[in-house]
Structure 1
Amino acid sequence: MKHNLKNKSILKYLKDILAIPSPTGNTYNAMDYIVKTLKEIGADYTITNKGAVIASIKGKNDNYQRTFSAHLDTLGAMVKEIKSNGSLGITPVGGFMMSSIDGENCLIETIDNRVYTGTIQNIMPSVHISGDEARELKKTAKNMEIILDEKVFNKVDVEGLGINIGDFVSFDTRTVFTEKGFVKSRHLDDKASAAVLLYIIEYIISSKIELPYTTNFFISNYEEVGHGAKASHPVNTKEFIAVDMGAPGPGQNSSEYSVCICAKDSSGPYDLELKKKLVQVCRDNSISYKIDIYPYYGSDASAALSAGWDFKTALIGPGVFASHAYERTHSDALMATAQLVLEYSLTE
């Protein structure tokens, strides 16, 4: 059977989920979108106690199951301090360089769901005032702050808005879809792969495809802080494939135009036999792929292994340039990832 996958459907899901702020710890609206979409698709799903969503498609063999994962939580921040001048000190959520958010617009969501806008600036944002001292300032959390788009002049003014310590901060995604197939946005890690999995679930169900093995799709919500997929896996899972991202850059083999297969990351090598099977599926189906190693990377698959789960693991995903900053990928990589997930799901 020849599969006619449609990139525009992946991009539609991607556009939707990129528009929903979901920093780790405050992913409720994004996960609600996943549940709503699965209901519309007609997929069976469960929600874990921690708020992850697992969709399942029953296959011929229910005793040997495969699980694909993607995560919907993103990098973000929280309010750490309300300063005497009315600005907000921040603490990062997830591992990113503070320089990557210098000058970024943001949203602050209070505990009672009020939302305010602001801009993340370093504490010396003007060279006209600070000169070389501003140029040399280290971009660390203590040197960054949020300037609210409100007429506030002191701590009392800010508290009067209902803003408090621990409120979540999300970054403007600045999402752009270009005519030549590029997608530029924050949080393509890992919303690009989440969009791919949503589309593959839809495609399998709407096409009435019978899978050889029961296949699960685990949408996790705490990956960026290391414990997203440490629990709640379907007990018959024998193969766990994290669908995250590849990281193109100097010295890397990854590409924005291919699905990337990770051989090793900071947690060590992924399963050799599973990697061989994924590569063979790419070769058999003329799927553009790259194999690479990421020394400063971890995934939901490595998190699951560290929690003691006994299954084979792999890590794949579209190549995403400038990971954990203002990211970019291409529709070719999204399609290659979708093809690999689908074709591998069909292999016995």
Structure 2
Amino acid sequence: MTSPSTQPQLSSSEAARLVGEAIGQVQRVIVGQEHMVEQLMVGLLAKGHILLEGVPGVAKTLAVRSFATVVGGDFARIQFTPDLVPSDIVGTRIYLASQERFEVELGPVFVNFVLADEINRAPAKVQSAMLELMAEKQASIAGRTYPAPSPFIVIATQNPVESEGVYPLPEAQRDRFLLKVDVPYPHGNEEFEILRRMSVRPPEAEPVLNPDLVRQLQDQASQVFVHNLVAEYIVRLVLATRTPVEFGMPDLTPVIQIGCSPRATLGLVAASRALALIHGRDYVLPTDVQAVARDVMAHRLVLGFDAVADNIDPAQVIERIVAMVPPPTPVWNQQVRAESHDQHHHQPDFSG
């Protein structure tokens, strides 16, 4: 197969067509959940890990398995349990009696796509091994480091309603996930379609991409243009989580204990670029930033004790910030600038 460096550069429309075809193949299997499927593709193109949160039975595992089939590459599903140890996932040294020497047997995480099912059931040592894997894309075994293949993505799931035998993910590990996507119940018409589609022979997804093509699309996504005004907008969104009073939201000061880290700023840029490419553009719009802001930023917030006691959802806080921080307004020429000025500064006279 031709290496990505010698493959011709895809146009934005060709890249969008390929990605759209891949998303369509996943949608053949998964009824509804369009947002989850699109965010899986955003995470892949942005080279980021994804955390899916939802109750059991809403097709999280099926979606990831179908997505891996469509995108190509190796796939492994690991069911996390409280008795798991790091060597179960990254591998260990084994003794070869016939050769009288030790050899490293790599674990199931050395694949392109790792589905970490119910990741919050694993104890601290396993979480530590996963942290190195997600952050450095490598694992340490017996004093040596082994790199993960490329592309490499961890897609983890967790159940938000069960607390028995669960180790909550530490903030440091949550911050490693580019996106945290909430997976809701299907709507009534979607439930009927699930019944109709899955009660007979279920459809299967067909491969559309391959690892070389994925790497090429990832490189193309990283080159999508971000205007300085859009970059400044992204920075202001993140700063608003740290000092909300400076952005006209003093009521959020006691709500937010710790704001978003600089990793959220980089994540917003990467995810916005990926979404722009999915939509066939080679430039980022403020609407791209707004579309990914909730999934990139909400899980990085640490709310205060009173806010948690009042069941305030971090996603609602992010939605409030997005609504309050004004995006840049594009002005294409002098005439539009004058019209925009009149529209925003003309005060109608209601007297008489």
Higher strand share: 1
Higher helix share: 2
Indicate the structure (1 or 2) with the bigger Cα radius of gyration. Answer: 2
**TM norm. shorter chain > 0.5:** no
What's the TM-score once normalised by structure 1's chain length?
0.31
What's the TM-score once normalised by structure 2's chain length?
0.31
